Amino acid sequence: MHNLFDLNGRAALVTGANTGLGQAIAIALAEAGADIVAAGRSDAAETAARVRAAGRRFHFVPTDLSRKPQQAQLAGVVEQALDAFGRLDILVNNAGIIRRANAIDVTEEDWDAVLDTNLKSLFFLSQAAARHMLAQGGGKIINVASLLSFQGGIRVPAYAASKSGVAGLTHALANEWAARGINVNAIAPGYFATNNTAALRADPAREPQILARIPAGRWGRPEDLAGAAVFLAGAASDYVHGVVLPVDGGWLAR
């Protein structure tokens, strides 16, 4: 049974691994045995220290996924991951941003930044990783979706559109690549205590409304994603394709 969750000898590329959900996922994969390449625009020194403390190798690729990322740039990120450890078995598309505004006030700049980061970069990183994974006979792609892959949210139209797109792409890519050895799945976090939710947690009206709706009775902690990430990255999920797995404290069941 242990072998189903053993990632020893694997290499994982995780975007947005400097803090929050991405950091927790990177650390969980390292603790299961994977070497980690982190890609993002912010220093990931804390993540590096924790990955190395788990006995795994770490490499950082600086890149900005929010400013009109190009196909060639994203392919270059994958190439740097391959250069770091000589292989790429797992891609975690975690990097994401949110812009809160009434739909009537959303600017083109904010719309483009959200869609570029959350959706465009995810697709072209997946494409570049899949070219390698198809050649090597398989791999695991894990997208970070959201409850707003299922719902519309409030004052986050670009984010809701992007995360609905993440769910759609997860299904579409799974349909194309499942028979060729690549598992494409997604995790849909609920309300987690991260930088993206700081404004909500500080809102004296919205915060208690949200908390009252969560059957588990608390906000998620980044480490609550560890089990789902390791499951989708390992052999335990070899026959799991195209799933968008909520990790939400029961929110969608309410």
Catalytic amino acids?
A: 159
CB 190 within 8 A of CB 214: yes
Question: How far out from the chain centre does Cα 182 lie?
Answer: 17
CB 149 within 8 A of CB 189: no
Q: What is the 3-state secondary structure (H, E, C) of 207-232?
A: HHHHHHHCCCCCCECHHHHHHHHHHH
**Token pair recorded at residue 60:** 């950082």
The arrangement of strands across the sheet holding 11-15 comes to 58-62, 35-40, 11-15, 90-93, 139-144, 182-189, 244-247
CB 12 within 8 A of CB 90: yes
Sign for the pseudo-dihedral over CA of 169, 183, 250, 252: positive
